[in-house]
Amino acid sequence: MGGTEAWSVPPRADVVVIGGGIVGAAIARELSRYQLSVVVLEKAPDVAAGTSKANSGILHAGFDAEPGSWKARLNVRGSQIYAQIAEDLGIPRRVIGSLVVAQNADEMVTLEALRQRGISNGVVGLAIWDRDQVLAHEPHVSPEIAGALWAPSAAVVCPFLATAGFAENAVRNGVQIVTECPVTAVETEAGAVVAVMTPRGRIETRHVVNAAGVFSGHVSRMAGDDSFSITPRKGEYILFDKAVSHLANSVLFPTPDKISKGILVSPTVHGNIFIGPNASPVEDPEDQETTPEGLAAIVAGAQRIVPDLPVQAAITEFAGLRAVAGKDFVIGPSPMVKGLVHAAGIQSPGLTSAPAIAEVIVESLRDTGLVLRPRPEFNPTNPKRPKFIEQPVDVQAALIAENPLYGRVICRCETITEAEIVAAIRAPGGARTLDGVKRRVRPGCGRCQGGFCGPRVTAILARELGIAVTEVRKDSAGSRLFFPRSQGAVGENEHA
Amino acid sequence: MHEPYYDVVTIGGGPAGMAAALGAREAGADKVLILERDRELGGILQQCIHNGFGLRRFQAELTGPGYAHRYIEMVEKAGIDVWLDTTVLATAPGGAVSCVSPTGGPQTVRAGAVVYAMGCRERTRGAIRIPGSRPAGVFTAGAAQRMVNMEGYLPGHDVVIIGSGDIGLIMARRMTLEGARVRAVFEIMPYSNGLTRNIVQCLNDFSIPLYLSHSVVAVHGHDRVTGVTVAQVDSHFAPVPGTEFELPCDCVLLSVGLIPENELTRSAGIHMDSVTGGAVVDQFRQTSAQGFFAAGNVLHVHDLVDWVSREAETAGQSAARFAHGALGGTGGALAVSAGAGVRTVVPQRLVPPTGDEKSVRFYFRATQPLQPAILALHADDNVVWQRRLRVVKPSEMVVADIQVATLFQGAENLTFTISPATE
Ligand SMILES: Cc1cc2nc3c(=O)[nH]c(=O)nc-3n(C[C@H](O)[C@H](O)[C@H](O)COP(=O)(O)OP(=O)(O)OC[C@H]3O[C@@H](n4cnc5c(N)ncnc54)[C@H](O)[C@@H]3O)c2cc1C
């Protein structure tokens, strides 16, 4: 039976997926089409706790990867199948196209090379635009530019909701996701996987999928496979208020260098604008701190594309880590351990590629002996959750008549009602923490960043989860928000 | 669907909304409605359990809830309708106010005139771009104040406060009285942003240090805050290398400014003042949209609630007069601008006087502290009015009443300046 009973692991499973990021969640959902017992083990309190929550959220068109690489193949395939997936799973997605901006004639030459590469990768609709065409589409781009490469198929999604959408559908189809459950050992016998160990117990299994993101090298070595290792590479971001959303209509890239796609300016699917990421190697796979140098660098980079960027309209900053194993993804059976399949080193465009990675991994599992019998009752869709504010008045009236909590607005920046928050908590694999609610339905994502709704959402979480307010957490186990008021506190006007 | 009609509707039931509703009633509006999203009236006052409210308005030193309570009683006595737990989603030309509540569902109210009184919200960590990690334990001072005073929970035990806004200062005292340790208040400006009396009563009395020209340059901690890095800043607010020091703490409270909450106003296409963050209004507090008025912190951030009540009363009275056809539109206005030394001035426009009023009250914020100073009014190029001020501080509002006769002498531009005066 599916579910997210956080405190138990089953004694055995046909497949154990390590990691509840976009890759692990997409694989679990793909596996849930078959008659299998599947368990996802995630060390964090929620899905998408690693790289999958802090990235650019772009479904890349697929012109920049080396033809023939996993990246190139899976990016283009992923980008094609996302439309249906987003519809089925309720993932917010907008096709807005992307522009790679060239500052001079040299960079225009690079654009032509990118276009050729895109054509060999199977990307459709690529076109080179001159300066005037670019400025007509993007009036806030620097008039100094020379031109741009237009890719109409680029889209933006909410990366958290993409992961949560896959995870919810997997759970609806019988997968068990256990959060706060790190895998501490992968046991092998005669070079083949037999079980994984966690603080919550041991799970016997013959098939382990390593989708542990920046920790995937670590997990691989746990099983005795040291064929690759991961270097985390940090990318920092600044998110802007919706008041400045007019600054970009499509994803705006600089002409890429060797290391990354560069610092971009882009709309989010929710209608904000963000800038970033930079690329700096770090040691600590948990290091998600933003830095003054990093933030300054991305502002400078973004201003090369959009000079009038109003820095004072920033509403938040964050950072994510790319899991870099080499030039390409590490995908397929381990060369050293039988039963271990890697979906590792999934750097950009991993978000875009995830559904295609899932297809390849399921084929790998079949090749390594997993029997795949389709499950006739597989349901590919998640139920639609209406966004109150987007409904016409008669629908709003009907929603409130059925559930009065639709009439109570909790988040005033994004107009989110109590009913939507409660639904996010009660959903399969639903929110357990303040950040979990924030990431699913967005209270706290607006310009007040939870200043107004934070205490209210905390109270709703406590009520829905049946816990004390002092037990409600921001995110991880150590992240409680409030403490009991101490005895003997002095009244405001009683002190001498 | 049936759309109820009211002469005047106020959006928000804090001190501004209540005073506007009462002002409207006094000026003869029969049907007055307050729309409030919370479950009680009073707005931010309900969480301000400290003293210091009402010295001017009631000649008494009240707590926030005490001040609110007096107004709530007056609202009840005046027979003003109040819809609680009701959020306004949009306003439209002609006075249509759409709102939603659990019991009433989505509804549209028709209003003869509307007063925006939504108050303000706090600036956040993101808005001032403090680098570092994003652990639990970082709160805006107002959110923390609500948790302590209204819900009865503490946001931490070992506190660092960023910014010397009044709520931060008040919370420094509150947290100390709750048994927490308050390490320091760090202010990036070379002067404090709070009222002098709050510095004395909330910091000095409790030996809490206030560091001016200092900024928190990083927040640390993975799960919960474990500390901050602080540095001195130069005159361009850039950290001075070598001055950094670390301070352990489990809680960071932010008091780095308030921003008028104008989503509704903006989406109604009303002309805004980019410095106050509120609408551009005339002396009646009418915005660029006919029949839409604004008052209180939604218009410009006030330092004292007494000013808010006073201003809102004017707005409410004017709204009632507009609803009855006794107040004109927004045409023929004279621009009032903030000149040297003046950061903000409200009202920003003057329409021709209706004959009843003798003077117009102006509210100013200065750009920098001065002692003493001259506040002057320039009509075109001539100084037509001036007043000597003993001290001016950016954190304290300057208020001046100026005779109608002085203001309307045929000049095309009115500009206020604040400049240093010689001793
Ligand atoms: C700055 C940046 C920008 C990017 N932009 C884009 C973009 O625009 N478009 C795009 O397509 N891609 C983009 N990417 C890439 C994309 O974000 C990643 O490829 C994708 O999120 C990787 O997902 P994942 O599931 O492999 O890793 P993760 O999301 O990191 O998931 C791994 C999970 O495994 C868990 N885990 C680790 N160890 C254990 C253990 N021992 N036991 C249990 N659980 C464990 C972790 O807690 C984590 O939740 C970007 C990446 C970065 C960093």
The answer to whether A489 contacts B179, with C-beta atoms less than 8 Å apart, is yes
> B325: alpha, beta or left, given left = phi > 0 and alpha = psi -120 to 50?
left
pLDDT of residue B423: 66
State pLDDT tens for residues A245-298: 999 999 999 998 766 779 999 999 989 999 999 999 999 988 888 898 999 999
pLDDT of residue A259: 65
pLDDT averaged over every residue in chain B: 94
Alpha helices, H only, A442-493 = 454-465
Question: Is domain A98-152+231-324 classified as CATH 3.30.9.10?
Answer: yes
Ligand 1 near A60 CB (within 6 A):
yes
**Secondary structure class of B240 (helix, strand, coil):** coil
- Which of A295, A395, A452 is most worth mutating to test chain B (most B CB atoms within 10 A of its CB)? A452
Alpha helices, H only, A206-345 = 216-222, 292-305
A440 CA from centroid of ligand 1 (Å): 17
- pTM of the full predicted structure? 0.87
C-alpha to C-alpha distance for B61 and A401, rounded to whole angstroms: 45
Question: Which of the four pLDDT bands, split at 50, 70 and 90, describes residue B253?
Answer: very high
Going from the C-alpha of A477 to that of each of A19, A458, B145, the distances in angstroms are 18, 16, 25
Element (H, E) at A343: strand A340-344
pLDDT of residue A490: 57
pLDDT of residue A494: 45
The position carrying tokens 């037990």 is A471
| Known catalytic residue at A140 | no
Residue A52's nearest CA partner among A90, A16, A20 is: A20
Residues of A in contact with B152 (CB under 8 A): 485
The position carrying tokens 């997210």 is A4
A294 CA from centroid of ligand 1 (Å): 20
pLDDT of residue B131: 78
- How close is the nearest chain A Cα to the Cα of B138, in Å? 9
Residues with Cβ within 8 Å of residue A182, at least 6 apart in sequence? A41, A43, A198, A199
Q: Which residues of chain A have pLDDT under 70?
A: 1-7, 258-259, 445-448, 487-496
The 10 Å Cβ neighbour count of residue A69 is 14
pLDDT of residue B157: 97
Q: Domain B124-256: what homologous superfamily?
A: FAD/NAD(P)-binding domain (3.50.50.60)
The answer to whether B178 contacts A481, with C-beta atoms less than 8 Å apart, is no
**Secondary structure class of A60 (helix, strand, coil):** coil
pLDDT of residue A496: 33
The 10 Å Cβ neighbour count of residue B207 is 8
Q: Residue B9 forms beta bridges with which residues?
A: B33, B114
State pLDDT tens for residues B23-61: 999 999 999 999 999 999 999 999 998 888 998 899 999
Q: What angle do CA A256, A260, A264 make, to 5 degrees?
A: 70
Architecture of domain B1-120+258-330 in this structure = 3-Layer(bba) Sandwich (3.50)
pLDDT of residue B410: 87
> What residue ranges do the domains of chain A occupy?
98-152+231-324, 390-471
Q: Average the pLDDT over B117-134 and give the result.
A: 81
A329 CA from centroid of ligand 1 (Å): 12
DSSP string, B71-89: HHHHHHHTT-EEE-S-EEE
pLDDT of residue A243: 84
pLDDT of residue A488: 56
Number of H helices, E strands in chain B: 9, 28
The answer to whether A455 contacts B121, with C-beta atoms less than 8 Å apart, is no
pLDDT of residue A4: 45
C-alpha to C-alpha distance for A433 and A180, rounded to whole angstroms: 12
The answer to whether A483 contacts B174, with C-beta atoms less than 8 Å apart, is no
Evaluate the CA torsion angle A256, A259, A263, A265 in order and state its sign. Answer: positive
Residues of B in contact with A286 (CB under 8 A): 222
pLDDT of residue B331: 75
C-alpha to C-alpha distance for B259 and B301, rounded to whole angstroms: 7
Q: Which of A18, A39, A51 to mutate to test the pocket of ligand 1 (most atoms within 8 A of CB)?
A: A51
Architecture of domain B332-423 in this structure = Sandwich (2.60)
Chain B (245-264) residues lying within 8 Å, Cβ to Cβ, of chain A: 261, 263
3-state secondary structure chain A: CCECCCCCCCCECCEEEECCCHHHHHHHHHHCCECCCEEEECCCCCCCCCHHHCCCCEECCCCCCCCCCHHHHHHHHHHHHHHHHHHHHCCCEEECCEEEEECCHHHHHHHHHHHHHHHHHCCCCCEEEEHHHHHHHCCCCCCCCCEEEEECCCEEECHHHHHHHHHHHHHHCCCEEECCCCCCEEEEECCEEEEEEECCEEEECCCEEECCHHHHHHHHHHCCCCCCCCEEEEEEEEEECHHHHHHCCCEEEECCCCCCCCCEEEECCCCCEEEECCCEECCCCCCCCECHHHHHHHHHHHHHHCCCCCHHHEEEEEEEEEEECCCCCEEEECCCCECEEEEECCCCCHHHHHHHHHHHHHHHHHHCCCCCCECCCCCCCCCCCCCHHHCCHHHHHHHHHHCHHHHCEEECCCCEEHHHHHHHHHCCCCCCCHHHHHHHHCCCCCCCCCCCCHHHHHHHHHHHHCCCHHHCECCCCCCECCEECCCCCCCCCCCC
C-alpha to C-alpha distance for B129 and B218, rounded to whole angstroms: 10
Q: Where in chain B is the domain with CATH 3.50.50.60?
A: 1-120+258-330, 124-256
Please tell me which residue of chain B has the smallest CA distance to A288: B133
DSSP summary character for residue A34: B
Q: Residue B114 forms beta bridges with which residues?
A: B9, B292
Q: For B157, which of A243, A318, A483 is closest by C-beta distance?
A: A483
pLDDT of residue A3: 41
Q: For B106, which of A393, A404, A474 is closest by C-beta distance?
A: A393
The answer to whether B223 contacts A478, with C-beta atoms less than 8 Å apart, is yes
Question: Up-side HSE of residue A164: CA atoms within 13 Å toward CB?
Answer: 27
Q: Is there a contact between A476 and A436 (Cβ–Cβ < 8 Å)? A: no
State pLDDT tens for residues B292-351: 999 999 999 998 899 999 999 999 999 999 999 988 877 778 999 999 999 999 999 999
